[in-house]
Amino acid sequence: MYREETLVTIGKRENNRKRNYLVINTLQGKHIPVKPGKALALFDALAETIEDTYQDERLLLIGFAETATAIGARTAIRLGTKYIQTTRESVPDVDYLFFTEAHSHASEQKLVKDDLDRIIDEIDRIVYIEDEVTTGNTILNIVDILEKLYGNRIRFSVASILNSMTEKQMKEYAKREISIHYLLKTDHKNYSKIAEGYHENGLYEPCNINEISDVEEERFQGRMDARRLVDAAEYKRACESLWRRVDAAFAPRADEKILVVGTEEFMYPALYIGACMEDKGCVVRCHSTTRSPIAVSADAGYPLRTRYELRSLYDSDRVTFIYDIGSYDRVFVITDAKGDEKTGRNSLIHAIRKKNSSIYLVRWCQG
C-alpha cells in the first residue's frame, strides 16, 4: 500500500508559467536516485491493478515519454502484451500521430502511426500508462485522434501511479467509457503553495561540453526500440540478453556500490540492469537524465539539491539535466544513443566525474 507522504514530493518548475510545481515520485527512478528493485515493485503494483481485468481482451499498452516509459515497458512485460511508447525523438522513415501535453515543458509528443496501422485490427483495447494523470486532457486528446482515425471499434483505459483528476473529470471518463486504474489518489490544491515556499538556492552546475574524459565504452547489439511497436515478451528477452553481456563484461561484485544512469526516454533497460545487479548483492541506485528544468534548493524537505546542466545524447542542441549525483564505486551509463554525439557524452561524463572516477558507457545498438 503506497501513501502520498512516502511516494510524492514537490519540486519547483523553472520558468514554467503553465504550472509552477512538479510532482516528483520518490520511487520512479527518474529525478531521484532509487533502489531499482523498489521502482520495479512500484510498476508491478500498477500492473496488478489491471492484470485480472482484461484477460479476455487483446491489449496494446502505450507508455508516455519521458517519465512513464519504464512504467509502460514493465507493465507490458508483466501482462504479456504489445507495447509502444510515445516519443519526442525523431524516428526515421515513419509517419506520426502528433498530440500535446498541456502542462509539460516540452509539450509535443508523437506516436508512430505506421505501427498503429499495422496492429489496430489485432487489438481490442488500448491502455495508456502514465506516471500521473492530472486533468486527463492529454489522454482524451489522443483518444479523439485515434477514434477519428480508426473509428469506435477500440476500447480505451488508463493506468497511472498517481491520479489527481477531479470528480468532474472522472465522470467525463466514465461517460466516454474509459476505465481508470491507479495506485494513489492525490490532490494538487496545495502543491503550488508548497513549491512557492522554496528558495532556489541549491547548487547549479553549468554545462561543460569541451572537457573530454576517457571512459571505457562497450557496444552491445540486439537493441529493441520501444518507440516502435514491440512484443513485450521479446523485449524482455532482449533486456535479459543485454544484462548477460553487461554482467560478463563488467562482473559486478556483491556489496559494490553502483550507480546506473538511463538517458531521457531510455529508462527501463537501465532500471532492469540495476535490479539484476541488486540481485547479485550490489548496492545500486538508478536515475536518469531528463528534459525537465527543475529548480534545486538547500531548504529542508526539498527533494533536489544539485542540478547538472547537460547536452542531450540525442540532440546536441537540446539542454537536459541530471540531479543529485552521489559517489559510487562504479557508474554505468546505459543508453541507446547512436554514438555520433560529442557534446552530450562529454557533458554527462564531466558531471558524473565530479564525484566518481570509475565510469562506463554502455550503448545498446541495433543489429
Claim to verify: residue 219 and residue 187 sit in the same structural domain: no
Claim to verify: residue 245 and residue 187 sit in the same structural domain: no
Claim to verify: residue 104 and residue 239 sit in the same structural domain: no
pLDDT at 102: 56
pLDDT single digits (tens) 334-356: 999 987 778 999 999 999 999 99
CATH code for position 180: 3.40.50.2020
Residue where a domain terminates, one of 196, 227, 254: 196
Claim to verify: residue 169 and residue 301 sit in the same structural domain: no
Confidence of residue 15 (pLDDT cuts 50, 70, 90): confident
Rounded CA-CA distance 41/278 in Å is 13
CATH code for position 283: 3.40.50
Rounded CA-CA distance 233/79 in Å is 9
The arithmetic mean of pLDDT across residues 313-325, rounded, is 96
Claim to verify: residue 263 and residue 149 sit in the same structural domain: no
Residue where a domain terminates, one of 196, 218, 239: 196
Rounded CA-CA distance 175/190 in Å is 29
pLDDT at 278: 98
pLDDT at 104: 52
List the one residue out of 261, 281, 217, 246 whose CA is nearest residue 355.
261
pLDDT single digits (tens) 66-106: 999 999 999 999 999 999 999 999 999 999 999 876 545 45
Confidence of residue 210 (pLDDT cuts 50, 70, 90): confident
> DSSP code of 197?
T
| C-alpha of 114 from chain center | 23
Claim to verify: residue 219 and residue 179 sit in the same structural domain: no
Query: Residue 253 pLDDT > 90, yes or no?
Result: yes
Residue where a domain terminates, one of 132, 161, 196: 196
Per the structure, the count of domains in the chain is 2
List the one residue out of 175, 281, 261 whose CA is nearest residue 215.
261
Query: Residue 201 pLDDT > 70, yes or no?
Result: yes
pLDDT at 302: 98
Claim to verify: residue 239 and residue 184 sit in the same structural domain: no
Query: Residue 256 pLDDT > 70, yes or no?
Result: yes
Query: Residue 203 pLDDT > 70, yes or no?
Result: yes
Fill in the amino acid letter for 7.
L
Rounded CA-CA distance 285/69 in Å is 18
Claim to verify: residue 24 and residue 156 sit in the same structural domain: yes
Query: Residue 212 pLDDT > 90, yes or no?
Result: no
Range of the domain at 209: 203-364
List the one residue out of 300, 321, 301, 302 whose CA is nearest residue 311.
321
Claim to verify: residue 187 and residue 275 sit in the same structural domain: no
Residue 227 near residue 89, CB atoms below 8 Å: yes
Nearest-10 crossing angle of helices 268-279, 69-79: 70
Rounded CA-CA distance 62/349 in Å is 32
Claim to verify: residue 243 and residue 117 sit in the same structural domain: no
Confidence of residue 107 (pLDDT cuts 50, 70, 90): low
Alpha helices in the chain (DSSP H): 4-7, 36-50, 69-79, 113-119, 137-150, 167-175, 191-196, 232-250, 268-279, 343-353
The arithmetic mean of pLDDT across residues 292-307, rounded, is 97
pTM above 0.85, yes or no: yes
pLDDT at 341: 79
Claim to verify: residue 168 and residue 233 sit in the same structural domain: no
The arithmetic mean of pLDDT across residues 197-218, rounded, is 90
Confidence of residue 306 (pLDDT cuts 50, 70, 90): very high
Claim to verify: residue 26 and residue 91 sit in the same structural domain: yes
The arithmetic mean of pLDDT across residues 307-314, rounded, is 97
Residue 278 near residue 304, CB atoms below 8 Å: no
